[in-house]
Amino acid sequence: NPNPNPNPNTNPNPNLNPNLNPNPTLPSVVELAQFLMICRVNAHAILDPFTQESMGVGLFPTGAVFNHSCVPALDYLVDPSGRMQFVTVRPVRRGEELTTTYTDLVMQSTPQRIAALRQEYFFTCVCPRCSLAETSNPKSSAKPDASPNPNPGPNPSPKP
């Protein structure tokens, strides 16, 4: 029998919940959840250049390729035309990975940053700043860290 399920609108497996994907031409709930998570972890905040207040979020393919560091080499801004532009915020050595930050570097302590990155982006930060803090003081205080760069760039803007 070449087609064991001649009616594509019926559920061939009675153990599966038919509400998970009642129409096989549409994405399943799992596929939609995966898509939303991809959007969530790759979205970037769009901030007002003067007030630094959030104006929304955007998906920028170029911005999504940069890894996180708590000592980022780059910051970004979204210009009035909606293009993402990157600027260096510290000297960069030849061959060094260009990174951005996904979180608030100034107002959060190392444990707070590590916890926020785990919760929001599903990874444990092992950048030099976090690694140094963990090895030098594993029970570091909850005080915010000093900024890694006294001039953090034109738009210190973490991912939302």
Pick the CATH number of 27-136 from 3.90.190.20, 1.10.460.10, 3.30.70.100, 2.170.270.10: 2.170.270.10
User: How confident is the model over 151-160, as pLDDT tens digits?
Assistant: 344 444 455 5
CB 155 within 8 A of CB 55: no
Residue for token pair 């959030």? 54
C-alpha dihedral, 54 to 57 to 60 to 66, nearest 10°:
70
Pairwise CA distance, residues 42 & 159, whole Å: 8
User: Whole-prediction pTM value?
Assistant: 0.64
User: How confident is the model over 27-46, as pLDDT tens digits?
Assistant: 888 999 999 999 999 999 89
Q: Tens digit of pLDDT per residue, the chain (160 long)?
A: 455 555 555 555 656 665 666 677 888 889 999 999 999 999 998 988 888 898 999 999 999 999 999 999 999 999 889 899 999 999 999 999 999 998 878 778 899 999 999 998 999 999 988 988 766 655 544 444 444 443 344 444 455 5
Pairwise CA distance, residues 70 & 102, whole Å: 8
The predicted pLDDT at position 140 comes to 44
Collapsed DSSP state (helix, strand, coil) of residue 25: coil
- Give backbone dihedrals phi and psi of 85, rounded to 5 degrees, phi first: -120, 145
The enclosing H or E element of 38 equals helix 29-42
CB 72 within 8 A of CB 89: yes
CB 75 within 8 A of CB 100: yes
